[in-house]
Amino acid sequence: MTTVRIREDWVGRTIEEKFRLTRWLGGSEACGVFLAERDGRPGERFAIKLMPVESANAENRVAGWEAARELEAPELLRVLEHGHCEMDGAEFAYAVTAYAPEVLAEVLPGRALSAEEARAVLEPLVDGLAYLHGRGLVHGHVKPSNILADGDQLKLAVDHLMRVGEAHEGFAPGSYDAPELKRGVVTPAADVWSLGVTLVEILTQKPPGLAADGKLQIPEGLPE
């Protein structure tokens, strides 16, 4: 377990003498996201994710960031660069992406989406996942907090990428995760499961629960 903590009051500091942290966007003490500006690029905003290098999954996460740099699909929020930095005497890995100001997870508490709106969200997500799966990659974290928009362009954050069949050590299943992930191996099918759970939440404001047999409990009245 990591003893290093990411602090919201790091706003105002500079990463690698290039990116100045301007606002805390969210996360946890172990993995946080800041809004940032780059010297020499006034008005251009970036999102920077920081995580301690001593974290159990730091090595796999950095490998995923490297894979995400090579992606070119418009539906994916590509990692622009990544590296290591020191904060308060501790070493952190960081990844830089473009900043997308709207997050689906922040919309849903206010209202569910209509069937037409859900289709508009679903289509680019399917295209983005098909692009990843065709390159032997699994997203692994399809959920509303990773679905963002910049104007009319929907983006899927891809800073958790893994290779198909890669071992997922220390996995604690969440609401969006396929039951087979308990075995610790990631697959494209698990992304499809997560996408289905996300779609139900988009239409109902909450993800479906699991029955005793492991099947999803789909609410009645969902648009066909």
Q: For the segment 59-92, what is each residue's pLDDT rounded down to a tens digit?
A: 777 888 888 888 989 999 989 999 999 988 889 9
Which pTM was predicted? Answer: 0.85
pLDDT in tens, 16-44: 889 999 999 988 767 889 999 987 777 78
Terminal-to-terminal C-alpha distance of the chain: 45
- Residue 150: band (very low, low, confident or very high) from pLDDT cuts 50, 70, 90: confident
Whether 164 and 186 have beta carbons less than 8 Å apart is answered as: yes
What count of other Cβ atoms lies within 10 Å of the Cβ of residue 187? 19
Question: In angstroms, what is the C-alpha Rg of the chain?
Answer: 18
In this predicted structure, what is the pLDDT of residue 12? 92
Q: Are 48 and 33 within 8 A, CB to CB?
A: yes
